[in-house]
Structure 1
């Protein structure tokens, strides 16, 4: 049965063809149907969580995450056919990472990571949980 891809993938331009959890390396690797692949560190995913706990409930409410340098991923849980719930070893599990959001994170990883590090430095925070 051939259905219109738009009915199968609402809001998703690129669809994952393979998702790999690399626990020892603390990263998620994801390949998309357009041949693009990303290797996303657990720390980057954790500090970029789409959860309300991190993003807030509106513009300007984002909470800067700190001390997440050593965070890992315990497991991945599919959410329908459109997303993943990532369970981190700091027990954060409320973010729903849509395929579109994961693609966006991958495409913009370098810039987003640089902005995150700059904000940490500006506020005098550390990625290391042992540093206060």
Structure 2
């Protein structure tokens, strides 16, 4: 085996998501995930809803940029297993089409501060709010 193959193999192993140890719903506000490497994340319902990996009719497309807004108070109602690789979360705005894989949950948890900062900047840029629109 060449030195290059060893380096590539190590890089691939390091890039793999650690095995999920625990997933716990804390309805309506959050989901807690813990991985075998000791990393653990509390992910808010708003954060998960905004970063749902599904297309949604409630997304506003602005200049080709998909923006979900008004979800500050959204809640998690339930979740169901999808195979042995993820969950489908039902939110109280009835969104339920996104499948959150263990890899994606780890990515969200590992990057939640930068992702949330980017999300808030995007809302500001387009004059939108995290708060729901008032009904008339």
Pairwise TM-score range, normalised by the shorter structure: 0.7 to 0.9
- Map 1:119-130 onto structure 2 (within 5 A): 119-130=122-133
Across the aligned residues of Structure 1 and Structure 2, the Cα RMSD in angstroms comes to 2.2
1:23 matched to 2:27: yes
1:89 matched to 2:92: yes
**CA deviation map 1:11-48 (0-9, x unaligned):** 96212111111115x01001011111000000000000
**CA deviation map 1:72-92 (0-9, x unaligned):** 000010000000101000000
Q: Distance in 2 between matches of 1:111 and 1:37?
A: 17
Q: Which residue of 1 aligns with 2:120?
A: 117
In structure 1, the residue corresponding to 2:115 is in which secondary structure?
Answer: helix
In structure 2, list runs of 5 or more residues that go unmatched.
1-14
The number of residues matched between the two structures is 117
Distance apart, 1:53 and its partner CA: 2.5
Q: Residues 53 and 63 of structure 1 are in contact (CA less than 8 Å); yes or no, is this contact kept in structure 2?
A: no
Q: Residues 12 and 99 of structure 1 are in contact (CA less than 8 Å); yes or no, is this contact kept in structure 2?
A: no
Q: Distance in 2 between matches of 1:31 and 1:48?
A: 19
- Map 1:1-132 onto structure 2 (within 5 A): 13-24=17-28, 26-53=29-56, 63-130=66-133
Q: Residues 69 and 129 of structure 1 are in contact (CA less than 8 Å); yes or no, is this contact kept in structure 2?
A: yes
TM-score after normalising by structure 2: 0.79
